[in-house]
Homo-oligomer: A and B are copies of this chain.
Amino acid sequence: MFSTSTQDLYITYVDRMQKIADIRYAAAVLEWDQETYLPPKGATARSRQLASLSEIAHEWLIAPDLGDLMQELMQRGDLQEDERRNVELSLEDFNKQKKFSPAFIRRLSEASSRSFHSWIQARAANSFAIFKDDLHQLVDLKKEEAEMAGYEGHPYNALLDNFEKGCTTTLLDHVFGTIRIPLKDILDRIALRPQVDDSFLHKHFPRNLQWNFGLDIIRQLGFDFSAGRQDISEHPFTTSFNARDVRITTRIDENNFNHMTWSCIHETGHALYEQGLPPQYYGLPLGEFASLSIHESQSRLWENNVGRSLAWWRTVYPRLQAIFPQPFGGVSAELFYDAINKVAPSLIRTEADEVSYHFHVMIRYELEKRLIDGSLDVGDIPRWWKENYAAWLGVDVPDDKHGCLQDVHWSHGSFGYFPTYSLGSFYAAQFYETAENQDVNINRSIQDGNTNPLLDWLRNNIHRHGRRYTSEQLCQIATGKGLDIQHFLDYLLKKYVIIYDF
């Protein structure tokens, strides 16, 4: 059947994968447009255009002859190392995706579409009841998906694997179990100290000045504007149509300095990763990001380890003061630094500080795990949510909008996604500490406002590997050991002991 040379077979494989990528990226352009510029009445046709593109991409990806081709390639002895790794990973995707029939994919996609709309309505009406039935159906479909995909141990593992290959409840129970108490301890200690003043972050910051400041810092952090752009959307996000066309978005709140600034830095972190992926592997696994937790490690490293550090603001803050003499003219860099690092447990995950953030994630993780194994009923979510927010964060959830309706993820059918946010922070701390230790120039340069040495380290140690390694392998290679949350705890303690003087 395959008398062709290995090189010709490989070229055929590449050609097919790149054509699938063309369709996936075309869909990504349509999605980007949907979030940024789509006129309201265009939504209906856009949904079906996206559905058709997904259908083609899925159909092509699970084509039996593509599977045969890859099987054959894996048996050839003369594939180069990179080539072999590409085929191996594509074959993994193939074997995973082919478990789902087109009919099931369509049911899932339709259920998500319905759920998204009822979630929007539920939020507007501030009533979980409106979302409940559709969410119930989605949870059932995700259980079905877990059974089709197969798993060892907990059925939730099958869903975790969608976002983080090899991630399991055993692993997460251990990580979260280890960090929960020390984190709570930091929160409790801070609660006993006088609160820092961040009132000057909530003055009036004209839209246009914020926008220009955002573009300025994005450029300074190394984002290549000839290979990407920033636009406005309701929820900030990053998307990529190849390493040479990476789009980020932000939102601007004229009465809150935090929203735009840290969304710009966060999304720039994602974007620097995408712009740093090897472009020669367009459409192939080695040209893709390693995992969602590694992706998130990049956004959080820039957002927090750099963007919430005093070192970096030393050179940026004077520029900021020049742009907003009111209110920053009379505020020192140190007070500004304290304010942007204020810790105060609250209701909304996306607005949480670096300590309490992970309780938002842990609560969602525990909740999803229970939904998928059936030990918690969808109808009990609001009660469970309220109880856990009271227990862990000491806050009272007043209604569903400030509670279990705040995130879009479930309505998209994304169960198993949240944990990658916390893993991202943990990896970020470990990467950052390693980078600083390996190259003394990194810290020194940041104090001069130059983040290029840091970016170089990330390009060399993380970005250029694409999807070659799993998160854990990558962590091992880049830092000499697997994930160790002590780095994150050390980072927090070092920062907050000074700010809150405990």
Contacts and interface: CB of A to CB of B under 8 A. Distances in A.
Given A29-B29, A29-B33, A228-B39, A22 B245 contact: no
Size class of the A contact interface (CB-based, 8 Å): 35 or more
Contacts of A242: 42, 45
A15 to B, nearest CB: 10
Contacts of A241: 42, 45-46, 49
Contacts of A39: 225-229, 244-245
B42 A244 contact: yes
Contacts of A331: none
A49 B26 CA distance: 7
A154 to B, nearest CB: 38
A448 to B, nearest CB: 28
B227 A22 contact: no
A45 B33 CA distance: 17
B244 A22 contact: no
Contact of A25 (B45, B226, B245): B45
A435 to B, nearest CB: 27
A304 interface: no
Contacts of A44: 244
A221 B384 CA distance: 55
A40 interface: yes
A22 B53 contact: yes
A156 interface: no
Interface in A49-94: 49, 51-53, 56
A243 to B, nearest CB: 9
A48 B22 contact: yes
Contact of A45 (B38, B40, B231, B244): B244
A25 B53 CA distance: 11
A211 to B, nearest CB: 15
A317 to B, nearest CB: 30
A179 interface: no
Q: Which of A41, A44, A224 has the largest count of B CB atoms less than 10 A from its CB?
A: A41
A284 B241 CA distance: 30
Contacts of A231: 37
Contacts of A42: 227-228, 241-242, 244-245
24 contacts: A22-B48, A23-B52, A25-B49, A29-B29, A29-B33, A33-B33, A37-B229, A38-B245, A39-B228, A39-B229, A39-B245, A40-B226, A41-B224, A41-B226, A41-B227, A41-B245, A42-B228, A42-B241, A42-B242, A42-B245, A44-B244, A45-B242, A45-B245, A46-B241
The 4 A-B pairs of least Cβ separation, nearest first, read A42-B245, A22-B52, A45-B242, A41-B244
